[in-house]
């Protein structure tokens, strides 16, 4: 089985799907890896490193897309514009694995299905113990949370740690992290390492222990948080009344902090607005907000994705692809995730898809020219797969019956 690693074409995407060290495990299983020249350069991996690990380097992108399996960081919906030119090269006997935004870009997924290739999504890896080594969302959130802390420290006109100097004592910076998922917890840990005093809030009371284990203070608001945690450990979308009351209670908390890092996101949905213009105006001049949900529209009312906003002396940073800014380690982690998933899906050099397996079932988006993931089908207004199968069977039965009548 040949694996193709194309160079990423999404603007600003510096990651690569496989790194040279990840080739060893695949080579042992008999896979042949074809890498487009320059695919890993932006992440710090030279063509020569890939060749030393047994990869075949090619200059022709179409040759990469002739492989049996295409591994990408951004495929289909995660790269809808530049990636559209790659789709016509796909055939029905090929498989693509990568981030593909199936819940946010269902129409692009529908277009992908027309080319017949099979598609697996790295976003829909279930958060279960045996899938942890495949969980690319958590890996990338770890990188983003770390980078958010560095961005905040760089933009803040204060130092993070407390210092006792001959010129007097410098008070530590006060950081408030909103959302204690993987990115939020990593932001807490990184800010604490830099010496800041950190507080955090999450609508899921269950994360309090994790926040406090990192040395941060967990702020508790008088809110009805019952059933605030959805499947897989993700926060569940709440009603606007809940968010309105939450914003009211966050107002004073934000005014008392130098840095606010927001990380609240709901898979496949626009990020909830948690920080209003009024809340920003209550913060002291020089304060910094880092909105990690900017790519989903942002948690801050003033967020402009990909830009830096100045308002009333407060800096609002709105990064959209932080993992791509730490591409070496982000690629290394992602390569482990995606290669582990590939090995899980294959045996003896071929795909062995067990639809009773939760990992296979949840990550399979398109098969045999049809969108098969139930959530994506629902977003497209398509009937459930079971209904489709039943309709086919009924149609076949009716056809047989008509044939019998004709023969009589």
User: Per the residue annotation, which of 104, 138, 187, 339 is the catalytic one?
Assistant: 138
Q: Is 361 part of the annotated catalytic residue set?
A: no
Q: Is 138 part of the annotated catalytic residue set?
A: yes
The backbone torsions φ and ψ at residue 385, rounded to the nearest 5 degrees and listed phi first, read: -60, -40
CA gap 145, 185 in Å, rounded: 7
On whether the CB atoms of residues 35 and 64 are closer than 8 A, the answer is: yes
Nearest to 51 by CA among 69, 34, 28, 73: 34
User: Per the residue annotation, which of 234, 243, 329, 357 is the catalytic one?
Assistant: 234
Nearest to 151 by CA among 313, 336, 27, 320: 320
Spatial neighbors of 290 by CB under 8 A, at least 6 apart, are 148, 151, 152, 259, 260, 261, 262, 317, 319
CA gap 135, 251 in Å, rounded: 34
User: Per the residue annotation, which of 2, 127, 282, 361 is the catalytic one?
Assistant: 127
Give Rg (Cα) of the chain.
Answer: 24
The backbone torsions φ and ψ at residue 208, rounded to the nearest 5 degrees and listed phi first, read: -55, -45
Spatial neighbors of 319 by CB under 8 A, at least 6 apart, are 147, 148, 151, 290, 291, 292, 294, 306, 325
Locate tokens 């407390």: which residue? 162
On whether the CB atoms of residues 364 and 353 are closer than 8 A, the answer is: yes
CA gap 134, 125 in Å, rounded: 7
CA gap 298, 11 in Å, rounded: 20
User: Per the residue annotation, which of 135, 202, 258, 291 is the catalytic one?
Assistant: 135
| CA 281 to each of CA 26, 151, 261: distance values in angstroms, whole numbers, following the listed order | 53, 21, 16
CA gap 131, 337 in Å, rounded: 9
The strand pairing partners of 374, in sequence order, are none
The dihedral formed by the CA atoms of 34, 36, 41 and 43, expressed in degrees to the nearest 10: -60
3-class secondary structure, 346: strand
CA gap 405, 105 in Å, rounded: 46
Q: Is 60 part of the annotated catalytic residue set?
A: no
CA gap 379, 140 in Å, rounded: 25
User: Per the residue annotation, which of 62, 132, 284, 368 is the catalytic one?
Assistant: 132
Task: State the catalytic residues.
Answer: 127, 132, 135, 138, 234
């Amino acid at each position: 089985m040949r694996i193709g690693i194309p160079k990423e074409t999404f603007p600003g995407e510096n990651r690569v799907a496989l790194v040279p060290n990840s080739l060893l495990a695949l080579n042992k299983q008999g896979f042949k890896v074809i890498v487009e020249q320059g695919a890993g350069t932006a992440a710090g991996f030279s063509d020569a490193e890939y060749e030393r690990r047994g990869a075949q380097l090619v200059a022709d992108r179409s040759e990469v897309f002739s492989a049996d399996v295409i591994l990408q960081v951004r495929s289909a919906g995660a790269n809808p514009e530049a990636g559209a030119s790659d789709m016509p090269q796909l055939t029905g006997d090929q498989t693509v694995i990568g981030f593909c935004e199936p819940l946010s870009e269902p129409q692009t997924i529908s277009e992908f299905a027309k080319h017949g290739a099979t598609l697996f999504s790295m976003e829909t890896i279930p958060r279960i113990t045996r899938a942890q080594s495949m969980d690319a969302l958590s890996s990338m959130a770890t990188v983003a949370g770390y980078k958010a802390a560095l961005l905040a420290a760089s933009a803040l006109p204060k130092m993070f740690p407390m210092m006792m100097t001959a010129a007097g004592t410098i008070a530590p910076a006060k950081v408030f992290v909103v959302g204690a998922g993987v990115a939020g917890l990593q932001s807490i840990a990184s800010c604490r390492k830099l010496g800041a005093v950190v507080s955090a809030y999450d609508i899921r009371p269950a994360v309090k222990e994790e926040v406090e284990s990192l040395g941060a203070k967990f702020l508790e608001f008088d809110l009805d948080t019952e059933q605030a945690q959805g499947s897989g450990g993700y926060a569940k979308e709440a009603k606007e009344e809940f968010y309105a009351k939450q914003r009211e209670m966050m107002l004073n908390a934000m005014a008392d902090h130098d840095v606010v890092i927001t990380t609240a996101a709901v898979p496949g949905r626009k990020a909830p607005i948690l920080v209003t213009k009024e809340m920003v105006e209550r913060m002291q001049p020089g304060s910094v907000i880092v909105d990690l949900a900017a790519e989903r529209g942002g948690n801050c009312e003033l967020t402009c994705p990909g830009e830096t906003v100045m308002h009333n002396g407060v800096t609002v940073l709105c990064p959209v692809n932080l993992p791509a800014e730490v591409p070496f380690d982000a690629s290394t982690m992602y390569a482990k995730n995606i290669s582990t998933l590939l090995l899980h899906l294959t045996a003896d050099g071929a795909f062995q898809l067990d639809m009773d397996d939760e990992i296979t079932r949840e990550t399979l988006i398109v098969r045999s020219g049809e969108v098969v993931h139930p959530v994506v089908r629902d977003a497209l207004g398509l009937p459930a797969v079971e209904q489709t199968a039943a309709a086919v069977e009924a149609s076949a039965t009716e056809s047989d019956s008509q044939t019998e009548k004709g023969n009589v």
